[in-house]
Every structure is written in C-alpha cells, then in structure tokens.
C-alpha cells in the first residue's frame, strides 16, 4: 500500500552497514562477527528480529565463549538495528534487550624484571617491537605498521594519523631514549616500515613464538596488548598524571585511563602526609580522639 515501508532483510542491512562504516578502526572485526551472525539471521526480515531471537543468539554465543564476547555481538546487532531505524528509516522500532553483566577485570602488567625476562626470550623481530611497545605504549597495529615517514629521530617525535588511531584522532608520540634506541637500531632494515619480518610488516604478534617465550620466561595470562597496560602502569607508578597518560596513550576520554588510578598509591603517599600532625589526627591528642568518637 501507498506509504508503507518495504520490508528489508538482515542481509540488506549488513551490506549497507559495512558500506557506511568501512572507516571504523574495528571494521574487520565487525565482518567476522557478522559472518557468525549470518547463520541465525540470513533469512530474516528486520521486523522478524524480536527480543526472543536476540536472547537466543546471545545465549548461544555466551555458552561457546564468555559474557563479554557475547556482548560484543549483541551490541553490533543493536547498532545495526538502530541505524536501520534512525538513519535509514527501514523499521519503526528496535527490540529492547540487555547486555550481560561483565566481571571487572584486573589490569595485567609486568614488573621490570619480568619484562626483562620476556624480552630475552623473544625472537629478535618480536623483541624490538615489544621493547618499543613498552617504551611508547602504542597499540600493536600502530607498531606493526609504523612507517619511517611518521618518525623524526632528530626531534624525538612520532605521529599516529587519525585513520590509524582507535579513537580516530591523530596524536603525537614523544620518543623517550628507550624508544629512540630501538628505532636507531632498526634504521636501514626496510625503506618504508620500521618493524618487519622477512621484508613484511608483522601483522600478527601473538604467534607460537610469543607463547613459547612467555612459557620460558615463566609468565602466564599475558597478552601482547598487556604491554600497553604495563607501560601505562609504570608511568602512573612513577608519577605521570592520568591526564598526561591520556594524551601520551592517545585515549579519547579520561574514563579510559581511570583503570590505572589505583597504581598511583606510591605517588600519592607524599600527598597523604600533608595532614600529618593536625589536631584531629594526632594520636596523642586524647581529647581530640574522644571528640571524634562522640560524633
């Protein structure tokens, strides 16, 4: 009838979503998720995707993985359905559903001696990349595909362009002496990329060589991305403010660095002593203590 919206399929929505979001930093991850979802949604019209179906898909993914992984799939489904409603005007409503509760994970980081053990066990091409990661905090792909044109050794600076950044914002990377030493050692090995293996950028770092090195170093439950957590933890423990850390690491919001706030305990101990000797906290002032107890 005139004025009625034509029924659209999930596959049509997927095609348009991928076209509209191809600049996303995690575009390829979306592709992988959508291939899995295709098993359950390929023959569905958008108006057939109700809460019961979404809950069923969530339960299946949670059973084979984890609540956090299931949430990534559910969030992608919700984003596509919302875009179909809000921007494409293909549907009138989106089913309401909740994501699973995710346990708060601790920040995994290494102490300097542990990091040194790991570096000594890594093959040369991974060792230099890990050293650079620990010196700069850059994400794996930013290290893997760092080009010499993004580096100025004379000024001690590097740059991550907006299309290379997870936050889609360009940011500068000050190179400390450790980072400069690594790059100087890499000069002349490849005309375009700073880090290569057999003439190509190292796309995957979590290889068998990585896991074998972890085992030989006596380190467990540690991912390549935890090198970034280690770098951030070392910074905060040595007095770098969270705002400075946010800029150094290229995070898009202050909330992203709050996970490292508890690492500042040693740094804050001096500040905690600013009230030493005041009347209400002096242990020999019994009158003051009685006053506190009566409040």
212 is annotated as an active-site residue: no
Q: Which residue in the list 17, 109, 234, 251 is annotated as catalytic?
A: 251
Q: Which residue in the list 33, 228, 229, 235 is annotated as catalytic?
A: 228
Structure tokens at 278: 């005041």
Q: CA 231: distance to chain centroid?
A: 13
Q: Which residue in the list 10, 17, 90, 260 is annotated as catalytic?
A: 260
Q: Which residue in the list 16, 85, 117, 225 is annotated as catalytic?
A: 225
| Closest alpha carbon to 23 in 138, 164, 145, 143 | 164
Q: Which residue in the list 139, 197, 231, 234 is annotated as catalytic?
A: 139
d(C-alpha 71, C-alpha 164), whole Å:
25
d(C-alpha 34, C-alpha 185), whole Å:
42
260 is annotated as an active-site residue: yes
Q: Which residue in the list 44, 62, 85, 166 is annotated as catalytic?
A: 166
225 is annotated as an active-site residue: yes
139 is annotated as an active-site residue: yes
In this structure, the dihedral spanned by the alpha carbons of residues 137, 129, 223 and 249, taken in order and rounded to 10 degrees, is 10
| Closest alpha carbon to 92 in 5, 12, 11, 13 | 5
What does 196-260 look like in DSSP terms, one character per residue?
Answer: EETTEE----SSHHHHHHHHHHT--S--TTHHHHHHHHHHHHTT--HHHHHHHHT-SSGGGGGGG
What does 88-129 look like in DSSP terms, one character per residue?
Answer: S---S------PPP-PPPPPP---HHHHHHHHHHS-HHHHHH
**What residues are labeled active site?**
139, 166, 225, 228, 251, 260
């Amino acid at each position: 009838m005139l004025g009625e919206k034509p029924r659209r399929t999930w596959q049509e929505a997927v095609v348009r979503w991928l076209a509209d979001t191809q600049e996303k930093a995690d575009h390829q991850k979306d592709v992988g998720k959508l291939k899995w979802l295709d098993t359950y949604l390929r023959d569905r019209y958008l108006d057939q995707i109700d809460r019961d179906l979404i809950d069923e898909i969530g339960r299946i993914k949670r059973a084979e993985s984890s609540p956090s992984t299931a949430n990534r799939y559910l969030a992608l489904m919700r984003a596509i359905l919302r875009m179909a409603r809000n921007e494409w005007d293909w549907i009138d409503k989106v089913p309401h559903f909740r994501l699973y509760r995710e346990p708060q994970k601790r920040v995994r980081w290494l102490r300097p001696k542990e990091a040194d053990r790991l570096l000594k066990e890594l093959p040369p091409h991974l060792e230099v990349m890990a050293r650079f990661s620990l010196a700069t905090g850059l994400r794996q792909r930013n290290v893997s595909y760092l080009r010499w044109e993004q580096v100025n050794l004379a000024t001690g600076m590097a740059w991550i362009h907006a299309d290379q950044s997870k936050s889609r914002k360009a940011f500068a990377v000050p190179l400390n002496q450790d980072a400069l030493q690594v790059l100087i050692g890499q000069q002349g090995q490849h005309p375009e990329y700073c880090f290569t293996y057999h003439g190509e950028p190292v796309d995957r770092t979590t290889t068998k060589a990585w896991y074998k090195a972890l085992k030989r170093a006596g380190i467990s439950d540690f991912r390549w991305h935890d090198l970034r957590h280690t770098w951030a933890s070392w910074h905060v423990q040595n007095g770098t403010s969270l705002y400075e850390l946010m800029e150094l690491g290229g995070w898009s919001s202050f909330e992203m660095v709050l996970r490292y706030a508890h690492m500042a305990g040693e740094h804050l101990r001096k500040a905690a002593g600013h009230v030493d000797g005041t009347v209400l906290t002096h242990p020999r002032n019994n009158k003051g203590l009685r006053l506190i107890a009566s409040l």
